[in-house]
Amino acid sequence: MIAIISDIHANLEALRAVLDDIGDRNVEQIICLGDVLGYGPEPAECMDLVMEHCPVCLMGNHDCATLYEPSNFNIGAEAACYWTRARLENESDEAVRSKRWKFLGDLPVKHAIDGSDLDSAPLALVHGSPRRPINEYIFPDDIYNNPNKIRGLFDRVEHLCFVGHTHVPGVFLETPDFYSPEELEWVFEVDPDRKAIVNVGSVGQPRDRDSRAGYVLIEPNTIRFVRVPYDVDATIEKVKAIAELDDYLGTRLKEGR
Ligand SMILES: [Fe+2]
């Protein structure tokens, strides 16, 4: 069994809860689709846990922004990005500081893994989309507002592609269609003859009105969506204690948006 996590956003309380949940299951490998950093109060601690537990972690737009420069970020996200960079730069242990920056600089933008458990060609993994792996959003509304975009994205998918980035979990089909985890009753049955783009949701900042941390499990022939409750109030207090982080980055977690 493989666990795929994404969009931790420096929320250590949520990441710990998810790693504990994964630890209780028969998971052989954990893969992270990026955005370990940004928005949240504990970026360094989250990076250290990801380095320890995830043999593969991809580059998210917030990781990239911390490494280079934020672009097209709102004011709160930009301020959080600069605070995150300062937090990493101010680490007093030089070996720890260098290890974290090297990890960030070495993050790949895409990855493929064996898909035999799902009777699939190799599984494609990116943060955003198969066309622009770091930055492109695939929104559920795109199936109505921009169906050609969805079809164009599917042209680049061999069978299954896993994404994060929007923080909204669910499955896109080529029709185009979108199914939330609730509509799927939390399990997506893989059909070898039908392509799918699977959004794994977000560990640290879900935006589907469910405050619980989210991730997916790859089981034989199925993809299971999992939600894990965590101490949201603890994260909110940590955000409030850091002047550079907008309080809204904490309070939004309560509503899952
Ligand atoms: Fe994100």
Q: What average pLDDT score do residues 1-16 get?
A: 98
At residue 130, the 3 state secondary structure works out as coil
Give 165 Cα–ligand 1 centroid separation in angstroms.
4
CA distance 204 to 202: 6
Predicted pLDDT of residue 242: 98
Q: Angle CA(83)–CA(43)–CA(87) in degrees, nearest 5? A: 40
pLDDT digits (tens, 9 = 90+) for 166-219: 999 999 999 999 999 999 999 999 999 999 999 999 999 999 999 999 999 999
Gap from CA of 109 to ligand 1 centroid (Å): 14
The span from the CA of 106 to the CA of 52, in Å, is: 15
- Secondary structure class of 182 (helix, strand, coil): coil
pLDDT digits (tens, 9 = 90+) for 93-149: 999 999 999 999 999 999 999 999 998 889 999 999 999 999 999 999 999 999 999
**What is the per-residue pLDDT for 10?**
98
User: What is the reported pLDDT for 213?
Assistant: 98
pLDDT tens, position by position, 46-73? 999 999 999 999 999 999 999 999 988 9
> Separation of 127 CA from ligand 1 center, angstroms?
8
3 state DSSP class of 216: strand
- How far does the centroid of ligand 1 lie from the alpha carbon of residue 9, in Å? 7
Q: What is the mean pLDDT of the chain?
A: 97
Residues with Cβ–ion distance below 5 A, ligand 1: 7, 35
193 C-alpha to ligand 1 centroid (Å): 30
**pLDDT on residue 220:** 92
Ligand 1 centroid from CA 27, angstroms: 24
228 falls in which pLDDT band (50, 70, 90)? Answer: very high
Cα–Cα distance for residue pair 110/62, rounded to 1 Å: 16
Predicted pLDDT at 254: 97
DSSP 118: G
Among the listed ranges 14-28, 112-126, 155-169, which one has the minimum average pLDDT value? 112-126
Distance of CA 28 to the CA centre of its chain: 19
